[in-house]
Amino acid sequence: MAATGDEISIAADHIPLLKDDAMTGSLDFKGRPSLRSKSGCWKSASFIIVIIYINCYIYISIGIGVAERLAYYGISLNLLSYLTGQLGQPTATAVSLLNAWYGTASLLPIVGAFVADSFSGRFRMIIMSSLVYITGLGFMTLSASLNSFNSCKSASHNTTSCSPPHLHIIFFFCSLYLVALAQGGYAPCVQAFGADQFDEEHKIEFEAKSSFFNWWYCFSVGGMVPLLFITYIQENVSWELGFGIPAIIMCFALILFLSGTTTYRFRINDDGRNPFIRINRVFVESIRNWRAKPISLEEEGHQIMPHTQDTQFKFLDKALLAQNGSMGDENICSASDVEDAKAILKLGPIWFAALGYAIIYAQPSTLFTKQAATIDRHITPTFQIPAASLQQCFITVSIMVCVPMYDRIFVPVARAITKKPSGISIFQRIGIGLFVSLTSMVFAALVERKRLAIAMEYGLVDMPKAIVPMSVWWIAPQYVLSGIADVFAMVGLQEFFYDQVPFDLKSIGLALYCSIIGIGNLLSSLLVTTIQKATSGNGEDGWFSDNLNRGHLDYFYWVLAGISVCGFAAFICFTTTSSYGRRISR
C-alpha cells in the first residue's frame, strides 16, 4: 500500500465535475485505483472527524488541547491546577512549564510530518502515534497513582503543603513529553489525511473540503463538552481516574479509526521523488549558482510556469541554471520544483504575523483560568462552575454556535455576493480572526482592572484565597471573543497552510501551522518568566504574583494587546504587498 500522503494539485481555475468513477492519483487499501462512489469524501472523513472528537476529549482530559484546535488542538484545561496543586509548583513556574511543554508538543509535528511525507505515509503514522499515545497516557495514570501516596499531601484535594519527591515529578514530565512525542506524529497527519479524502479536481468535493475544515474544528472543540465531568472527576474524585479514562478512550479511538480503512483514499506520489530532497535541492542549487548570471529562459526555448516569473524569491530561479549560466540538467531541478520552493518561502510572512495571535491563544487555559478562580462562579445558589471549565462553557459554546452559522448562513450569502466557493478569501477570514483576538485581550485587560479595583474596595488585597464579589459574567465576553476569533483565524490558518504547500507536503503544511501555536506558547512562557523576574524582587510580588490581587495581569494583557496590534499590522502589510497562489482568492 503506497500511502505516502501526497495530494493532487489544482490544475485550472475552473474545476470540472469528473464523470469517471475511478480516481487518478489515489489508491484504496488494497492498492487498487480508488472509486469515487465507494471511497473518500464524507464517508471517510466522518470516521476521522469522530476520531478527532474522541481524541480532543483525551487531550484536554490530561491537560492537553490540540489547536488542531490543533490539531491537534488544544489547550490544557486542568493541567495548570495539577501542577500548582498536586505537584506544588508556583503559579509563574507552572505557567512557564505548561507553555514550554505545549510549545514543544506543537513543534514536534514538523518531525512527524517529515517522517510521514517522506517514509511511512500518514495512515501508518497515525497508527504508530496512537500506540505511543496510549503508552504515554498509561504512564501518566501510573504517575498520578504514585503521587496519590505522597505523605505530605494536605487534607485539601487541590493543594499540597510540600512538593512530591523529585522522582515522581520527573516521571510525570517524562510521561507528559511522551504524549507530546505521540502528538508530533498524530497532529499533522490526521487532519491532512482527512482532507485527503476530498478530490480537489472535483467541483462538489472541492467545496466540501472547505466545509470539512469548519466542521473538523467544530467537532474537535465540541469534545470539550463532556470534559465538564472529567474535570469534576480530576478535582473531586482522583487524578489517576481522570487520566485513566482517556487512556481507555484512546484505545477505542484507534479501533474506530481502523474500522474505516476500507473507505479511505491513499494519495500516491506520481514521480516517486522524496519531496524534501526535491525542495531542498532547489535551495542548494540556487546557492551553488548564486554567481551565475541569469539568462532569459524563454530564449533557450524553455517554458516556465507563471510562479517562477514572480519577482519574490527570484534568486531561486538560479536553481534551473548550470554554473556556467546555461540551463541545468533537467534531472536536477524543474520549474515546478522552483515554484514549490517559492510557495513554501511565501508562508514565512504569514507564519510570523500570526505569532501575536498564537501568544494570545495560550492564555485561556493559563492566566484566564487563574483569573477566573478568584471570582464568584456560581450559576445558581448551589452550583459553581470550576475555573478550568469556563473555557469549555464559553469558548466551546461560542465555537459550536458560530461554526454552523458561518458554514450554513454566512458562506452561502457571501458566496452569492463574491462568487467565491468559500464566500470570502482565506486572508479575509484570518484577518477578521486576528482583529477579534485583539479585541478579546483588550476586554480581558479592562475586566482585570475592574477585578483589582473591587478587591481593593472590599479589602481583599491581602486575602488571596478570598472570592472577589464579581460575577462570572464579567469574564465571559473575553472567552466568547476568543472562541469567535478561533473560528475565523484558527480554521483559516489550517486551510491556508494545507492549501498553499506543494501537493506532496500537505502534512508539513499543517505541521507549520501547529508550529505557530507552539512558538506562541514558548514566547508566552518566555514573556511570563522575563516579566516576572523584571517586576519581582525588592519586596515586590511581580505581575504574576501567587496572590493575584497584588499582581498585575492587566498590565500583561495590555502588553499582549500591543503585540497583537503589531502582528495584525504585519499581516495586513504582507497580504497586500505579496502574491500568493490562486487558492487564496477562492
Tell me how crowded residue 243 is: count the other CB atoms within 10 A of its CB. Answer: 27
Tell me how crowded residue 401 is: count the other CB atoms within 10 A of its CB. Answer: 15
Asked if 23 and 33 count as a contact pair (C-beta separation under 8 A), the reply is yes
Say what the pLDDT of residue 393 is: 78
| pLDDT surpasses 60 at 126 | yes
Asked if 559 and 526 count as a contact pair (C-beta separation under 8 A), the reply is no
Average pLDDT over residues 28-48: 52
| pLDDT surpasses 80 at 170 | yes
| pLDDT surpasses 80 at 457 | yes
Average pLDDT over residues 503-522: 81
**Cα angle, residue 501 at apex, residues 400 and 39 outer, rounded to 5°:** 65
CA distance 481 to 559: 18
Alpha carbon of residue 411 to chain centroid: 23
Average pLDDT over residues 209-233: 66
CA distance 447 to 443: 6
Between residues 270 and 333, the one the model is more confident about: 333
Say what the pLDDT of residue 571 is: 95
Beta strands per DSSP E along 44-190:
65-71, 73-74
Of the listed ranges 73-87, 384-398, 424-438, 479-493, the least confidently predicted one is 73-87
| pLDDT surpasses 50 at 62 | no
DSSP designation for 75: -
Q: Cell digits for 121?
A: 505515509
Grade residue 440 by pLDDT with cuts at 50, 70 and 90. Answer: very high
Say what the pLDDT of residue 5 is: 38
Q: Where do we find the cell 476521522?
A: 48
Strand, helix or coil at 292?
A: coil
| pLDDT surpasses 60 at 79 | yes
Asked if 62 and 137 count as a contact pair (C-beta separation under 8 A), the reply is yes
Say what the pLDDT of residue 205 is: 67
CA distance 546 to 507: 41
**Cα angle, residue 541 at apex, residues 536 and 545 outer, rounded to 5°:** 110
Q: Is the four-CA dihedral 316, 321, 326, 330 of positive or negative sign?
A: negative
Between residues 319 and 131, the one the model is more confident about: 131
Average pLDDT over residues 367-384: 85
Between residues 504 and 295, the one the model is more confident about: 504
Between residues 183 and 201, the one the model is more confident about: 183
Say what the pLDDT of residue 224 is: 55
28-42, 252-266, 269-283, 348-362: range with highest mean pLDDT:
348-362
Average pLDDT over residues 117-130: 83
CA distance 331 to 344: 21
| pLDDT surpasses 50 at 301 | no
Q: Among 39, 35, 24, 27, which Cα is nearest to 1's?
A: 27
Between residues 540 and 564, the one the model is more confident about: 564
Residue type present at position 299: E
| pLDDT surpasses 90 at 313 | no
| pLDDT surpasses 90 at 435 | yes
Grade residue 161 by pLDDT with cuts at 50, 70 and 90. Answer: very low
Of the listed ranges 103-117, 145-159, 385-399, the least confidently predicted one is 145-159
| pLDDT surpasses 90 at 407 | no
Say what the pLDDT of residue 485 is: 94
CA distance 480 to 268: 42
